[in-house]
Amino acid sequence: MSPSDATFNASELVALTRLPGWVIAAVALALVLALVVGARATRGAPPAVRAGLLALRAALCAGVVVLVLEPGMRLMATSKEHNRVLIAVDVSASMSEDDDGRSRARRAADAAKALVDDLARRDAPFVPELWLFDGTARKAAPGDLDLLQSGALVPTGAASRLPAALEAAPLGNGAPPLGGVVIVSDGADTSGLSPALTPELREAALRVNAPVHTVQVGASTPFKDLALERVLTDELAFVRNKLTIEVNVRSKGFDATVPLTLKEDGRPVASTDVTVSDGETVKASITFEPQRAGKRIYTVSAPVLADERIAENNRVDFTLKLIRDRIRVLLVAGRPSWDERHVRRILKENPSVDLISFFILRSTTDLTNAGNRELSLIPFPTRELFTEELDTFDVVIFQDFNYRPYQMAPYLENVKQFVEDAGGGFMMIGGELSFSEGDYEGTPVADVLPVRLLPGSGHVSTESFAPLLTAAGASHPVTDLGELSGGEPQGGLATLPPLEGVNLVAGLREGADVLLAHPFLNVGSEPAPVVAVAEVGKGRSMAVLTDSTWFWGLPHVGAGGRGDAHRRFFANALRWLIRDPELSRARIVVDLPDATRGVEPGSAVPLEARTFNSRYQPEGGDRVVITLTPLDATDGTAPTILEGTTGDDGAWRGSFEPPSSGVWRARVDAKAGGDDTKPIGSDEDAFVVRATAAEKLFAEPRPEVLAALASAGGGRAVPVDEVRGLPFVDRKLTRVHRQRTEPLWNQAWVIGALTVLAGAEWWWRRRRGFA
């Protein structure tokens, strides 16, 4: 050994051979055979001689073993491994609360220091490792505990997540052994953690594989508070349908019956009473019937009770997207036909459509051979429909219908206003009684059509044709016919039966788009439109200039198709006509990490506005005006207006720091290329800015949560002044810092000894006559 070997404090015998296992096995077998042969060959010899010869052969075999295995000595410098004890101290804002003359944070620092001192005094090698956590965990810097203890470091974490304390501990291969975890906290978790914990948290506590102790900081006894914790409801609901929301009401120090009020956009819509008991959380249900579609903001509130510690958590805001349950459609058909029949069937079978239809079953020239009493016909209530009831509809469809015989001329202006001013949807479907053939040229209805009508009649073609999908149609939602469009030329239209017959027009209204065009008939230099759409004032209109789209139904099935192109076409058309928010050409998105809980006070709200052209492709260079309006500001906060222009990706991005708390509505109004005369759409979203940070709302110490966590982790939950003596696990691991291996077999005396042994055995055997 060299002089430095003195620093090694452990050694072990090792084999240095690199021979494969089968060679070693073969050698071992050969040695056994050599021993057996040697024993058999010396039969009859005097016992002393035989024993001596066998001893010599055994010694020789042992020498061969040494040669094969190449023994060596491993010298090691080792030390005993210390066990980490992870001490995670809560530094969320609630720890700055002062319960009894000394802040929770300072008490937590006292406890952590006491624990460090306790560990240092133990015989078992435990090393404290200090972490700080709030929403996340980080290793404490040297001196952090002192700063915390002195009050120089004030906890300001905006959230408390007890799981973060467990996530701090590096586990697994290579990590130093863990003797245990100690969480020093008030338990005021802001992620909504209940004593039931969560499966993930329970699993995390078990994964530590060491005791998880909790140290309770803060006094809960004098704390009196009523808190509306969270609302349970779906993100989507239907207007004019009863909706029940549930809200968790937690009471600390109160046994009372409390009225709860539900407000929609600041207006009371429902109320209920809930009876609460000290220390319990009860679920209150409120049922109401929302009336207006769109994203609405709701507030559930309870009065502030006497001596209540936190008033701000007596209110909870949430947003709800309300969609209309049914689209009211008025279908007026000039005559029964297969086209009418297919459209009616599609609308009737659509669960989202409330269909009111009127068909002209008999004209003035028809001879029924029967008196009126023998007929099931009813009067066509034009006045009621087109004056009193018109605004109750979302979409009006004129299908192969001529208005003249029914004295409807005075009401056509109402139809125009229904579209332009009331934002209704209007569709005209072709036929011998539609468009110019229906004598609409020059009427108010013509003003809202996407096409310009020819004067007089006779403007029809009866030829068969396969319509062409235009560039606008290729990206427009109306002509998205599903799988049919996927990857096939002309969006798969060629797989549909050709259409037959088209109403001819003078051209397109300004700003209108043709989605399907005629393959060989032209209007001027452009293909004649077959399906065209237009934005008209606040509403939308659509022209289907043929009565043969039903060919995409049953006849398509006969040709081996699925027959759903017709259904999909009309379903798309309805959604587009009613300005289904999902199909709006201007969108605003307020993307919050947790929309239901709202924005922290002082936080910026990210905003993104997107615009699309009439072909539903992202459009750059559009002017967007974002109006941010506080809906329940009591301090007279004025709306904030942000303006911008969409980039090449069709998006404008910005942020907004709300000057006041409460509910806010974000609305985007977009104009094409900044031209005020070309509005392309609007959209709304809503968000809530909390009046008080969650840390303040959920500041109440929660020993029950800490106790549950300690129980799940196999540890103890102890008060802040009883941290000494907590049990930890000593893994008894040894760490090798340095090692060296010395071969033992390649010494001269080993070779010499083997040679002498072999010679002696051979000489003795020969002399005794056994060789």
Partner 1 sequence: MRRRDFLLASMPLVLAASGARAIGPRSEVGVGRLKHGGAWDARPEALRRLLWEVGKRTSIAAAKDAAVVALDEESPEGKELFWQPLVVLAGEGELPPFSARQRARLERHLRYGGTLLIDAPSAADPFVAGAKRELAAVLPGTTLRALDDEHVIFKSFYLLDGAVGRTRDDAHLYGIDVAGRAAVVLSTNDLLGALERDRFGTWRYDCEPDGDAQRELAFRLGVNLVMYATCLDYKEDQVHIPFIMKKKRR
Is residue 563 near partner 1 by the rule CB under 8 A? yes
Q: Does 336 bind partner 1 (CB under 8 A)?
A: yes
Residues 6+ apart with CB under 8 A from 125: 80, 81, 82, 83, 730
Segment interacting with partner 1, rule: CB under 8 A, options 254-262, 305-313, 427-435, 536-544: 427-435
Give yes or no for residue 349 binding partner 1 (CB under 8 A): yes
402 part of the interface to partner 1, by CB under 8 A = no
Instruction: Give 236 or 370: the residue with its C-beta nearer to partner 1.
Output: 370
The dihedral over CA atoms of 653, 658, 662, 667, expressed in degrees to the nearest 10, equals: -40
- Total of residues contacting partner 1 (CB under 8 A): 55
Site for partner 1 contains 125 (CB under 8 A)? no
Answer for which of 2, 173, 257, 369 binds partner 1 (CB under 8 A) is 369
SS3 (DSSP) at 674: helix
| By CB under 8 A, residue 330 contacts partner 1 | no
Instruction: Name which position in 26, 557, 641, 733 contacts partner 1 (CB under 8 A).
Output: 557
Q: Using CB under 8 A, which of 342, 540, 587, 702 touches partner 1?
A: 342
Q: Which of 14, 356, 753, 758 binds partner 1 (CB under 8 A)?
A: 356
Q: Which residues of 496-530 are buried (b: 16+ CB within 10 A; e: fewer)?
A: bbebebbbbbeebbeebbbbbbbeeeebeeebbbb
Does residue 501 belong to the site contacting partner 1 (CB under 8 A)? yes
Q: Give the binding range for partner 1 (CB under 8 A) out of 231-239, 356-364, 517-525, 730-738.
A: 356-364
Distance CA 158, CA 191 (A): 11
Contact positions with partner 1 (CB under 8 A) in 448-467: 460-464
Can you say how many angstroms the Cα of residue 566 is from the centroid of all Cα atoms in its chain? 34
Name residue 518's amino acid: H
Task: State the nearest-atom distance from the C-beta of 465 to partner 1, in Å.
Answer: 10
Count of other CB atoms within 10 angstroms of residue 182: 27
Out of 431, 527, 598, 713, the only residue in the binding site for partner 1 (CB under 8 A) is 431
367 interacts with partner 1 by CB under 8 A: yes
Q: Should residue 173 be labelled a site residue for partner 1 when binding is judged by CB under 8 A?
A: no
**432 near partner 1, rule: CB under 8 A:** yes
Q: Which of residues 521-550 bind partner 1 (CB under 8 A)?
A: 546-548
Residue carrying the six token digits 């009309």 = 570
Of positions 86, 87, 237, 360, contacts partner 1 by CB under 8 A: 360
C-beta of 220 vs 399, nearer to partner 1 = 399
Q: Is 376 in the site for partner 1 (CB under 8 A)?
A: yes
Q: Which stretch binds partner 1 (CB under 8 A): 50-58, 231-239, 416-424, 425-433?
A: 425-433
β-partners of residue 666 are 628, 685
Q: Which is nearer to partner 1, 385 or 709 (CB)?
A: 385
Helix axes 338-349, 565-577, angle to 10 degrees: 70
Among 340, 394, 513, 632, binds partner 1 (CB under 8 A): 340
Answer for which of 341, 615, 678, 740 binds partner 1 (CB under 8 A) is: 341
CB of 414 to partner 1, least distance (A): 19
Closest CB 509 distance from partner 1, rounded Å: 22
The binder of partner 1 chosen from 157, 553, 630, 662 (CB under 8 A): 553
Stretch that binds partner 1, among 128-136, 203-211, 357-365, 516-524 (CB under 8 A): 357-365
Among residues 26, 559, 733, 751, the one that binds partner 1 under rule CB under 8 A: 559
Q: Answer positive or negative: Cα dihedral of 407, 413, 418, 419.
A: positive
198/188 Cα distance (integer angstroms): 16
Q: Are 733 and 81 in contact (CB under 8 A)?
A: yes
Rounded Cα gap, residues 447 and 557, in angstroms: 38
**Contact in structure between 254 and 226 (CB atoms under 8 Å):** yes
Asked whether the beta carbons of 99 and 219 are under 8 A apart, the reply is yes
In the list 128, 424, 430, 539, the residue contacting partner 1 (rule: CB under 8 A) is 430
In this chain, which stretch among 185-193, 221-229, 552-560, 727-735 interacts with partner 1, using CB under 8 A?
Answer: 552-560
SS3 325: coil
User: Is 770 a residue that touches partner 1 (CB under 8 A)?
Assistant: no
Q: Closest approach of Cβ 650 to partner 1, in Å?
A: 40
Q: Which helix (H) or strand (E) holds 705?
A: helix 703-712
Angle value at C-alpha 247, between 245 and 249, nearest 5 degrees? 160
CA 429 – CA 545 distance, rounded (Å): 6
Residues 636-675 within binding reach of partner 1 (CB under 8 A): none
* Pairing assessment for the beta strands 178-185 and 267-276 based on DSSP bridges: unpaired
What DSSP line would sit under 393-417, residue for residue?
A: -SEEEEES---GGGT-GGGHHHHHH
Question: Under the criterion CB under 8 A, does residue 40 sit at the interface with partner 1?
Answer: no
With CB under 8 A as the contact rule, the residue among 230, 321, 345, 768 that binds partner 1 is 345
Q: Are 255 and 276 in contact (CB under 8 A)?
A: yes
| Strand residues in 389-485 grouped as ranges (E) | 395-399, 425-429, 451-452, 460-465, 468-469
Kindly list the residues in this chain that would bind partner 1 in the complex (CB under 8 A): 334-342, 344-345, 348-349, 356-363, 366-370, 373-378, 430-432, 460-464, 500-503, 546-548, 551, 553-555, 557-559, 563
